A and B are shown apart, each in its own frame.
Chain A
């Protein structure tokens, strides 16, 4: 017996050690170190580090760009993302089913989600550009500096690109959820005369609870994780109107060379992510349909 136990333990350890070592070393440790580094003032690899306590956090609060980043990230999370999910739910209702046309459309919708965010950002940066722009070609040239160059329209223009990239994924997700509703449920609805909005609120929406939860978690991660799209499309311009929290962290680290402040921004975002997760857990704590997980 002992020999078998040793072999089993050896096998499990061999399976776990390489991956766990890499993960702890390159993922977990850096996340913890971010907490430590947020208390120092320093700007690179070899330079001296000065312990400054919470000064980095206080400094963040004194910066206009920080508050723009917070404002924009929360607008994405609390305004753009819900609109995105609503659009996806609507589109999924239209695009559901096994007809060839619906399948083709769903295939096309997912495409922006598959291509590099750099390519998507380039597509929209070029499309909005007032001299080469696709939108100029269809008579929507927009403000003098282009849609992305005007303080009044830049955030909206960014949001359109964000929705363009993501909508297909959530539509597919909701379509999969709709396809998972058993045929008997639809028959029962027909017998009881439930249709339209009534059917949606009383039957479809509660049955879609697991999919809506997954979509909400996904969209929260995606909203707080906006980086590449902003970095390639606008770099936060004009006047911080498209700055996001993650992108401002990157800017502090690279352009500003303020590693301590970037780490402090990382800590702020960890707290925000954790709070958002707790809030989601609160909203989706109990499945309204009994017996379903």
Chain B
């Protein structure tokens, strides 16, 4: 019984890890070798696949654009979402529940349901295919999760500390920035990690809004569909490694925090 259990657990682990390893090993093999045999390990490894993916296939520019978009979005999203969540959770006023409900509702509907008007609005403003337009859309569509999670963290903070700080003469801003934000830092970790992963991987909105300037997932997807017939599989696998590797590194170093972040929307 115990053996069966371990067998099943390890078996599924292999199913998860084998295809990923296969992509990593294949990313340093020549196209012909990949076509000849799917499994062999090539010695010495052919790192020129990465050069081809980065340069000739333009994934280098896409990698840098993705990096900029992810960081820029975070710089705006975390303060804006944090302030919203804080005001909605610590100040009672008419309509605060309604606003929270409206913002949370955004998690229910796939963002592409708004794709047609969103694209037209951006195009009207000349913000389609622009870094600024994409970052604005990313901040707007990431608010639901960010506010929902931070609202939970802020609401759970004890009242006594806030009262003590107010008696000591702290104003609204210094109470928020000096007392509440540090106390809610586990929640801020959660939304930063969740959004870093989500934004780095984001495909739907970038696919709709960016035509010439491509983020890494869009660039990789286009590479795959263009090379359907005479595919340079080596470069494609190298591209996959480029998109997987940063997230994998993050997971290796911050395993517990990443797991907590992924479950945060579900369990508090």
Q: B266 within 8 Å of A by Cβ?
A: yes
Q: A116 within 8 Å of B by Cβ?
A: yes
Measured CB to CB, the nearest residue on chain B to A226 is B110
Instruction: Give the size of the chain B interface in residues (CB under 8 angstroms).
Output: 93
- Which residues from 184 to 238 on chain B have a C-beta closer than 8 Å to any C-beta of chain A? 197, 200-201, 203-204, 207-208, 216-218, 220-221, 224-225, 231, 233, 236-237
A250 and B243 within 8 A (CB): no
Q: Is the interface of B mostly helix, strand, loop or mixed?
A: helix
Distance to closest chain A CB from B244 (angstroms) = 5
Interface string of A104-119 (1 = CB under 8 A from B): 0111111111111111
Instruction: Using known A-B contacts A172-B262, A228-B203, determine if residue A15 contacts B87 with beta carbons closer than 8 Å.
Output: yes
Instruction: Using known A-B contacts A18-B83, A270-B109, determine if residue A7 contacts B12 with beta carbons closer than 8 Å.
Output: no
A105 and B9 within 8 A (CB): yes
Q: B41 within 8 Å of A by Cβ?
A: no
Contact of B259 among A110, A131, A224 (CB under 8 A): A110
Distance to closest chain B CB from A23 (angstroms) = 5
Distance to closest chain A CB from B49 (angstroms) = 14
B267 and A94 within 8 A (CB): no
Instruction: Using known A-B contacts A114-B197, A119-B220, A137-B37, determine if residue A23 contacts B143 with beta carbons closer than 8 Å.
Output: yes
Interface string of B88-119 (1 = CB under 8 A from A): 10010100000100110011111011111111
Contact of A31 among B107, B114, B201 (CB under 8 A): B114
Q: How far is the CA of A119 from the CA of B151 in the complex (A)?
A: 32
B221 and A232 within 8 A (CB): yes
- Which residues from 86 to 138 on chain A have a C-beta closer than 8 Å to any C-beta of chain B? 91, 94-95, 101-102, 105-119, 121-127, 131-134, 136-137
Contact of A26 among B26, B118, B240 (CB under 8 A): B118
Across-interface contacts of B39 in A (CB, < 8 A): 137
Q: B46 within 8 Å of A by Cβ?
A: no
Q: A58 within 8 Å of B by Cβ?
A: no
Across-interface contacts of A94 in B (CB, < 8 A): 5, 8-9
A11 and B117 within 8 A (CB): no
Measured CB to CB, the nearest residue on chain A to B261 is A114
Across-interface contacts of B8 in A (CB, < 8 A): 91, 94
Across-interface contacts of A249 in B (CB, < 8 A): 112-113, 115
- Which residues from 135 to 185 on chain B have a C-beta closer than 8 Å to any C-beta of chain A? 136-137, 139-141, 143-144, 147, 171-173, 176
Q: Is the interface of A mostly helix, strand, loop or mixed?
A: helix
Across-interface contacts of A200 in B (CB, < 8 A): none
Q: A62 within 8 Å of B by Cβ?
A: no
Instruction: Using known A-B contacts A45-B120, A126-B233, determine if residue A107 contacts B259 with beta carbons closer than 8 Å.
Output: yes
A136 and B12 within 8 A (CB): no
Across-interface contacts of A164 in B (CB, < 8 A): 15-16, 19
Q: How far is the CA of A109 from the CA of B20 in the complex (A)?
A: 12
Instruction: Give the size of the chain A interface in residues (CB under 8 angstroms).
Output: 88
Instruction: Using known A-B contacts A119-B243, A224-B110, determine if residue A27 contacts B172 with beta carbons closer than 8 Å.
Output: no
- Which residues from 112 to 171 on chain A have a C-beta closer than 8 Å to any C-beta of chain B? 112-119, 121-127, 131-134, 136-137, 164, 167-169
A34 and B114 within 8 A (CB): yes
Instruction: Using known A-B contacts A8-B172, A20-B99, A136-B38, determine if residue A123 contacts B115 with beta carbons closer than 8 Å.
Output: no
- Which residues from 1 to 35 on chain A have a C-beta closer than 8 Å to any C-beta of chain B? 7-8, 11-12, 14-16, 18-20, 22-23, 25-31, 33-34
In the complex, 27 of the A-B residue pairs with CB atoms within 8 angstroms, ordered by the A residue number, are A8-B91, A11-B176, A12-B87, A20-B99, A22-B139, A23-B140, A23-B143, A26-B137, A26-B141, A27-B106, A27-B143, A34-B116, A95-B9, A108-B16, A114-B197, A114-B248, A116-B203, A118-B201, A118-B224, A119-B217, A122-B224, A123-B20, A126-B26, A214-B267, A235-B225, A246-B113, A263-B116
Interface residues of A (CB under 8 A from B): 7-8, 11-12, 14-16, 18-20, 22-23, 25-31, 33-34, 37, 45, 91, 94-95, 101-102, 105-119, 121-127, 131-134, 136-137, 164, 167-169, 172-173, 176-177, 211, 214-215, 218, 221, 224-225, 227-228, 231-232, 235, 246, 249-250, 253, 259, 262-263, 266, 269-270, 273, 277
